[in-house]
Amino acid sequence: MINSSNKILFVILDNYKFERLGIQLLSSIALEEGYERELCIINSMPLEEALKKAEAYQPQIVAYSAMTYENTGVQQFNKLLKQSGMTFISIFGGHHYTFNPEEIIRDNNIDALCLGEGEVAFRKFIQAVRDEQEYHQIEKLWVRNGDGVIKNPVGSLISNLDIIPFPDRNLISLDLDKDHMQGKSMAIMFGRGCPHKCSYCFNTNYNALFRDSRILRFRSVNNMIEELKHITTEYDIEIFIFYDDDCFSYLPKKTIKEFCERYKKEIKKPFVAQFRPEKVNEDTVVMLKDAGLFLSPVGVECGNEEVADKVLQRGRVTNKDIIKAFEILNKHSIRTWAMNIMVLPVEDPLSVDLETIKLNIKLKPFWSQFNILVPIPKTPIWDYLTTKGYIGEDSLLSSNKLPSGFTTTTLNFKNVKLASRANNLHKFAGIAVKFPFLLPLVRILILFPPNRLYQYIFLFWYGYWKTIGSYNQKFSLALFFNGIKAIRKYLRRY
Ligand code: B12
Ligand code: SF4
């Protein structure tokens, strides 16, 4: 017997001091449908306390959202809640469940899971639960039914994004002064979907799953401005961050112009937006800069064109395109943030990484971020890695450990020495781009075994740029100690 408390508990493993627009949107829908709602962030407290918090709330529905490497944690939490004798319906959603439903639904503690965008399905689901109706025949949901599972079709993507309510930004309480890494900022999205097929990204398979839908979709300028205004009246915000992978790369110029004119008049806040390098064009940059664009992350990824094309499947983008993109952005004094992937599955990852660093030096970016490749199951690169023997079929998932793009590679390289040096190089890559004269010294430092000192150097450098460096946040002792605490927690966990 399920309780009828009309309460939904949203559960995530961590929020990494960022917003999570997915559940924030679902939370708005819950409120619209007359539910009370609460959030539990499992890793923000001892497990016992998190379980007690959930039990005390007595939810009718527990809604979990997770990325692949968070799934073990939330699945385990749900199992413990079910074992405690609480009566609730559990529903899971997010990219991991979209791509792995067969494996996930084997867990009897999971009552339903959602494939793809949740807004419509979740609304129908909670309406049915509230009204004590059947909830087994809803598009996008796989629902447990006695001993069996009803697998409804995935349906299509939402074509009109303006029908989606604004995210419930009170769900995740972000202390905008202390807790937020990039100052008083909030995330927002202009659109959804990406037409590219990078091998390490979810989009290739996502787009195949929804091949009959329009992939690239945008909200109207009116709808965007309305939400931005709503945020600025409700919160003390200094910066907006567009989460979109590449919205201004694909929005028609006319729409960008209309948006910039209104943003400049009605919102007037600095903002961050990212680009695909080959899509950076000067007219657009000028309009955006005038409206408030001050920082642009751009995917550089790999300096070796052949590896970028064959292994990362970056599409038609050359080093020449990348150099041109940075020239334009630098010329207009936009802070450029080059994003790169290191320790790639090639015979000599060290040489490729050195090529990437050298390309970055040419770009003169404001700062360069380097991540070690974290492979995601059900992406093209995952298949490549298993076929070529870089990973076992489910070795990373069964290890119950979060692989990290900041520490060491999870891949098995034939030449262990080269891989270890590439791991070391990653720790100094950002510094070498900013101070190229240090590159010869770095080449010597990487010959030593990987160690904690190198790791700390990386995390301090990364932490600096992620907070004070790029976003111009004011330095404070609270921020500094918060940072140290985060680094210690991070190193303990991995
Ligand atoms: C912003 C972002 C982040 C932020 C915030 C995380 C977050 N989840 O919001 C930060 C920077 C923290 C982050 C970190 C990482 N990220 Co990230 N991130 C994104 C990004 C660009 C946008 C997420 C977003 O807000 N989307 C918009 C919202 C509306 O969509 P959504 O969250 O998917 O939610 C919808 C549905 O999935 C569904 N849904 C979601 N939850 C639920 C729950 C229920 C109950 C239901 C019914 C439905 C449902 O309904 C929602 C509304 O339609 C996505 C790519 C993308 N375009 O989605 C990658 C993405 C989620 N990240 C990804 C990865 C891999 C990572 C990292 C592991 C990267 C790394 N190498 O370190 C780290 C993980 C953290 C860590 N361990 O360090 C992958 C996840 C793939 C997977 N299989 O899980 C994605 C898909 C990108 C990719 N490379 O393919 N990320
Ligand atoms: S361009 Fe970005 S979002 Fe698009 S497929 Fe490549 S990595 Fe994914």
Give residue-wise pLDDT tens across range 171-188: 987 766 566 666 788 999
Give residue-wise pLDDT tens across range 31-47: 999 999 999 999 889 99
Query: Relative to the alpha carbon of 195, which ligand is closest?
Result: 2
pLDDT of residue 245: 80
pLDDT of residue 176: 61
Give residue-wise pLDDT tens across range 374-393: 999 889 999 999 999 998 77
pLDDT range class, residue 398, cuts 50, 70, 90: low
Distance in Å, CA 109 to ligand 2 centroid: 34
* Long-range CB contacts for residues 140-148, cutoff 8 Å, separation at least 24: 140/114, 140/115, 140/116, 141/91, 141/112, 141/113, 141/114, 141/115, 142/101, 142/105, 142/112, 142/113, 142/115, 143/111, 143/112, 144/105, 144/108, 144/110, 144/111, 144/112
Distance in Å, CA 444 to ligand 1 centroid: 38
Distance in Å, CA 243 to ligand 2 centroid: 12
C-beta of residue 249 within 8 angstroms of C-beta of residue 271: no
- What is the pLDDT averaged over residues 324-328? 98
pLDDT of residue 1: 61
Distance CA 6, CA 10 (A): 13
Q: Of 486, 492, 489, 451, nearest to 178 (Cα)? A: 486
Which residue's alpha carbon is at the smallest distance from atom 6 of ligand 2?
Answer: 198
Which CA distances in Å does 165 have to 19, 30, 116, 174, 437?
16, 11, 17, 20, 51
Distance CA 371, CA 405 (A): 5
95 Cβ inside 6 Å of ligand 2: no
Q: With pLDDT > 90 as the criterion, what percentage of the chain qualifies? A: 80
Homologous superfamily of domain range 7-151:
Cobalamin-binding domain (3.40.50.280)
Which ligand 1 atom lies nearest to the CA of residue 377?
A: 83
Which ligand 2 atom lies nearest to the CA of residue 197?
A: 5
Residue to mutate (ligand 2; options 190, 192, 194, 379; most atoms within 8 A of CB): 194
Bridge partner list, 275: 298
DSSP state of 209: H
Task: Provide the CATH number for the domain formed by 181-201+224-493 in this structure.
Answer: 3.20.20.70
Q: What single string gives the DSSP state of each residue in 341-402? A: EES-SSS-HHHHHHHHHHHHHHH--SEEEEEE----TTSHHHHHHHHTTSS-TTHHHHTTS-
Q: What single string gives the DSSP state of each residue in 82-127? A: HHTT---EEEEESHHHHH-HHHHTTSTT--EEE-S--HHHHHHHHH
Which residue's alpha carbon is at the smallest distance from atom 2 of ligand 2?
Answer: 245
pLDDT of residue 175: 66
Q: How far is CA 376 from the centre of its chain?
A: 12
- What is the pLDDT averaged over residues 165-173? 92
C-beta of residue 109 within 8 angstroms of C-beta of residue 88: no
280 Cβ inside 6 Å of ligand 2: no
Of the segments 2-11, 77-86, 471-480, which one has the largest average pLDDT value?
Answer: 77-86
Structure tokens at 362: 């040419």
Q: Which residues have CB under 8 Å from 160's CB, separation 6+?
A: none
Structure tokens at 370: 């380097």
Give residue-wise pLDDT tens across range 259-318: 999 999 999 999 999 999 999 999 999 999 999 999 999 999 999 999 999 999 999 899
Which residue's alpha carbon is at the smallest distance from atom 50 of ligand 1?
Answer: 118
Which residue's alpha carbon is at the smallest distance from atom 16 of ligand 1?
Answer: 67
201 Cβ inside 6 Å of ligand 2: yes
Which residue's alpha carbon is at the smallest distance from atom 3 of ligand 2?
Answer: 245
Helix axes 119-130, 21-32, angle to 10 degrees: 40
Distance in Å, CA 378 to ligand 1 centroid: 15
Give ranges for CATH 3.40.50.280 in the chain. 7-151
Residue to mutate (ligand 1; options 37, 125, 202, 246; most atoms within 8 A of CB): 202
pLDDT of residue 477: 78
313 Cβ inside 6 Å of ligand 2: no
Which residue's alpha carbon is at the smallest distance from atom 22 of ligand 1?
Answer: 243
Give residue-wise pLDDT tens across range 417-461: 999 999 999 999 999 999 999 999 999 999 999 999 999 999 999
Which ligand 1 atom lies nearest to the CA of residue 404?
A: 72
Distance in Å, CA 245 to ligand 2 centroid: 7
30 Cβ inside 6 Å of ligand 1: no
Distance in Å, CA 477 to ligand 1 centroid: 31
Residue to mutate (ligand 2; options 192, 197, 201, 204; most atoms within 8 A of CB): 201
